[in-house]
Structure 1
Amino acid sequence: MINVLVADDELPAVEELAFLLGRDDRIGTIHRASSGAEALRTLETGDVDAVFLDIHMPALSGLDIARVIARSSKPPAVVFVTADEDCALEAFELAAVDYLLKPVRAERLARSIGRISELIRNGGGPAPEMITVDLGGTTKMIRREDVTYVQAQGDYARLHTADASYLIRVPLADLEQQWADAGFLRIHRSYLIALNHVGHMKLAAARPSVTVAGAELPISRRHLPSVREKLETTRIRPQA
């Protein structure tokens, strides 16, 4: 069970998030704090595995609390919960596990809890690989592990996730080399896929293809041998 602390200077926001967390079977004790100082006192006395922090609190902000947490010998996982996207870059520089935008959706919160569970199982582990993207003139950070596939667009690449897609100024060929060790595989001159997001593959068909997060993508004849070879070391079962 994951013991959590919810900190927000607005009590209704605390109770709403606590309610959503309480519906998840993976959550144990839920501590509440309505100020940064109260949050720090709870962290000193309570057994807390994860902290859900509002960023904009008076006196001690969520970012201030995260900096204090980062100095501890066994820091809890930090998730920022805010209505403001502008602090995402600084939040992930503080090794935040996640960044949730208000109002928090139950399915999005469940994914965040899943990340915390995985982090705890791995004994902490390294911080997730983050990618800086531009969305409508706003800088945003996304996790590489959330990228399902990448599509070439000239000298640019479009990163596809479950929620959206983002254009970055990096050629697909460069990403192919940089992300090979992270489980990404080139299947076509226009596509790079994340193997852990693959649903199934059709390798013996007249038009070989792979389904990634619901999208059916073509496998070129040139890349088919390397795709077959890669499948030998994965659990993905090709279909006829």
Structure 2
Amino acid sequence: MLRVLAVDDEVPALEELTYLLRADPRIEEVACAGDAPSALRDLSRMLVSRDRLDAVFLDIRMPGLDGLDFTRLLTGFAEPPEVVFVTAHDDCAVTAYELGALDYLLKPVRPERLSEAVRRVDEAVHRAVPPGEGTPGPPDEDEMIPVELGGRTRLVSRRAVTHVEAQGDYVRLHTGDGSYLVRMPLVVLARRWEEAGFIRIHRSTLVASAHISELRFDGGRASVQVGQELLPVSRRHTREVRDLLVRRFRHAEHADGERDE
């Protein structure tokens, strides 16, 4: 069963597309978005919470970020969904297929034509993900997080993130060149990024262990040096952080010893 996202800035068109998709027995769930930035935010939340999204059915001509730009941004994700364009314009088909679109439907959408597009999505998804395999990629794969900055959408690499701070319903991603506010719970991000080496050092702080350069103790209080910042470690997480750094130090010693032999 497929999980898809329908995107169109025109409400009647979005309602019609959603109705047709939900009527298809191969589709389990249909989410909706009224523009491309909202669709990117929905996609990001799905990926972070390990929810599966198999395909996006979207319009091309939308205000702000259009469907083609949206598809270009998808290339930054480790496992982007399939893309099916649903548009009233036939002059973008070549560009759409160059971007890797699976199908290109013209409005008004005929049910049998949409059914054929769903069949293509179903075949592509089951060809790419063998039965029994999960959707998350390997831990060493990078992940791109879409963030809004000055009315524009930018992709931030997980590898560039040094630490994350909880701020109410949001998290602030800190990188070497700035910080970005993203609407998602810290607990969800911590679970998603655990295999990539991010550890909890405080109930409101998540740190990329690769960016920790030093562990300090002062008057019974622990802190870690991350870039130019000194971040406090709660008593609850002190042993976990210390054990992690000890293991990393021993691994480095072992690797150096093997090189010297």
TM-score by length of 2: 0.47
Higher-Rg structure is: 2
State the alpha-carbon separation in 2 of the partners of residues 8 and 102 from structure 1. Answer: 12
State the Cα distance separating 1:115 from its structure 2 match.
0.4
* Match runs of 1:129-148 below 5 Å: none
* Match runs of 1:7-156 below 5 Å: 7-46=7-46, 47-123=52-128
Look up the equivalent residue of 2:75 and give its one-letter code: A
Look up the equivalent residue of 2:36 and give its one-letter code: G
- Corresponding residue for residue 173 of structure 1: none
State the alpha-carbon separation in 2 of the partners of residues 111 and 63 from structure 1. Answer: 22
Deviations 1:141-191 (A, max 9, x none): xxxxxxxxxxxxxxxxxxxxxxxxxxxxxxxxxxxxxxxxxxxxxxxxxxx
State the Cα distance separating 1:71 from its structure 2 match.
2.0
SS in structure 1 at match of 2:79: coil
SS in structure 1 at match of 2:91: helix
State the Cα distance separating 1:7 from its structure 2 match.
0.5
State the alpha-carbon separation in 1 of the partners of residues 56 and 19 from structure 2. Answer: 15
Cα RMSD between the aligned structures? 1.3
SS in structure 1 at match of 2:92: helix
State the Cα distance separating 1:53 from its structure 2 match.
1.0
| Greater percentage in helix | 2
Look up the equivalent residue of 1:21 and give its one-letter code: L
Deviations 1:60-117 (A, max 9, x none): 0000110011221101000001000000000000010000000000000010000001
State the alpha-carbon separation in 2 of the partners of residues 33 and 42 from structure 1. Answer: 8
Percent identical pairs in the alignment equals 50
State the alpha-carbon separation in 1 of the partners of residues 71 and 4 from structure 2. Answer: 14
Aligned residues: 125
State the Cα distance separating 1:121 from its structure 2 match.
1.1
Higher RCO, 1 or 2 (CA under 8 Å, sep at least 6)?
2
SS in structure 2 at match of 1:86: coil
State the alpha-carbon separation in 1 of the partners of residues 39 and 122 from structure 2. Answer: 22
State the alpha-carbon separation in 1 of the partners of residues 53 and 128 from structure 2. Answer: 15
State the alpha-carbon separation in 1 of the partners of residues 56 and 118 from structure 2. Answer: 11
Look up the equivalent residue of 1:93 and give its one-letter code: E
State the alpha-carbon separation in 2 of the partners of residues 101 and 51 from structure 1. Answer: 15
State the Cα distance separating 1:124 from its structure 2 match.
6.8
State the alpha-carbon separation in 2 of the partners of residues 25 and 117 from structure 1. Answer: 11
State the alpha-carbon separation in 2 of the partners of residues 109 and 65 from structure 1. Answer: 21
SS in structure 1 at match of 2:65: coil
Look up the equivalent residue of 2:116 and give its one-letter code: R
State the alpha-carbon separation in 2 of the partners of residues 12 and 70 from structure 1. Answer: 29
Change (3 A) 1:111 1:29: same
Look up the equivalent residue of 1:113 and give its one-letter code: V
- Corresponding residue for residue 3 of structure 1: 3
